[in-house]
Amino acid sequence: GIQVEQSPPDLILQEGANSTLRCNFSDSVNNLQWFHQNPWGQLINLFYIPSGTKQNGRLSATTVATERYSLLYISSSQTTDSGVYFCAGRADSNYQLIWGAGTKLIIKP
Amino acid sequence: NAGVTQTPKFQVLKTGQSMTLQCAQDMNHNSMYWYRQDPGMGLRLIYYSASEGTTDKGEVPNGYNVSRLNKREFSLRLESAAPSQTSVYFCASSGTGKYGYTFGSGTRLTVV
């Protein structure tokens, strides 16, 4: 079936640590995106990354479409990085985004 | 550069009341979407509009109607609100190319 799976489900780190979040996606899902939902509920599009690598400040993402996975890297974590990180892919069959269950990240000061 | 604007931000309804959530985007995107997010859960698609003049049901359309008023605006209507519709509602839009989806700031709806 059409699936997007994220790991780990929860992650607790000290400020300054680095982290890697993983997203596996099935066939028929493409156009991977990463979102951050902050503790106030706001959803921010971090990366639109169907393939390759992109960087934005302390965050970077890599998608290897042929192997059906994407990674989000957060370096030198700050407390403001806390929240839930979602990956989502667009199903080939329609316009719908298929969402992963999210990784809840807590950065402790 | 407003992006996607949703109104209202908060609303409390009594069971059986009706209301319309408004959404507008200024990015010239063709596609627009309405999602709901229940506590501790991911987003579920209610309805979407691939282009002006078209609307389609998503995963959880029951109890809702939508109108794609023009390219900029996509509204969501609850005809007879129920407590099960208590949720946070997000509007989003997408175009073609490298920018993916853009979300509004959400509407927190409580039905009592």
Query: For residues B31 and A97, what is the distance between their CA atoms, to the nearest angstrom?
Result: 12
pLDDT in tens, B91-112: 999 887 656 789 999 999 999 9
Mutate to test the interface with B, among A23, A33, A43 (most CBs of B within 10 A): A43
Give A66 to chain B, closest Cα distance, Å: 19
Measured from the Cβ of residue A66, the count of other Cβ atoms closer than 10 Å reads 7
Mind listing the pLDDT tens digit of every residue in chain A (109 residues)? 778 999 999 999 999 999 999 999 998 888 899 999 998 889 999 999 999 999 999 999 999 999 999 999 999 999 999 999 999 988 877 667 889 999 999 999 9
Which chain B residues are closer than 8 Å to A102 by Cβ?
Answer: 42
Cβ–Cβ of B48/A96 closer than 8 Å?
yes
Name, in order, each residue with C-beta under 8 angstroms of A100's C-beta and a sequence gap of 6 or more. A4, A5, A6, A23, A86, A87, A88, B42
Which chain B residues are closer than 8 Å to A95 by Cβ?
Answer: 31, 48, 50, 56, 94
